[in-house]
Amino acid sequence: MGARGAAGGGAAYFLGFLGAAVYYIQAASGFWWGVVGFLKALVWPAFLVYALLSFLHA
C-alpha cells in the first residue's frame, strides 16, 4: 500500500492526544496538575488498554 496509507494511525493518535490533553488540563486545579494532565494525555492509550483488559478479566 505504501507510505500513503500509514498516516491514518498517527492522525487518530494525534486527535486522541489533543482531546485527552484538553480534558485533563481543563480538569486540573492548578498548574502542576495541568502538567500531570499533559503527561497523562501522552500515554492515554495505555490507560485504555489496561481498562479494556481489566473489563475482559484478562
Evaluate if pTM is beyond 0.75.
Answer: no
Q: How far apart are CA 33 and CA 12, in angstroms?
A: 25
Give the pLDDT confidence of 1-58 residue by residue, as tens digits: 555 655 667 888 888 889 999 999 999 999 999 999 999 999 988 888 889 999 998 6
Other CB atoms within a 10 A radius of the CB of residue 20 amount to 20
Domain residue ranges of the chain, discontinuous segments joined by + = 31-58
pLDDT at 26: 94
Q: Please, what is the average pLDDT of the chain?
A: 85
Q: Which three cell numbers stand for residue 27?
A: 480538569
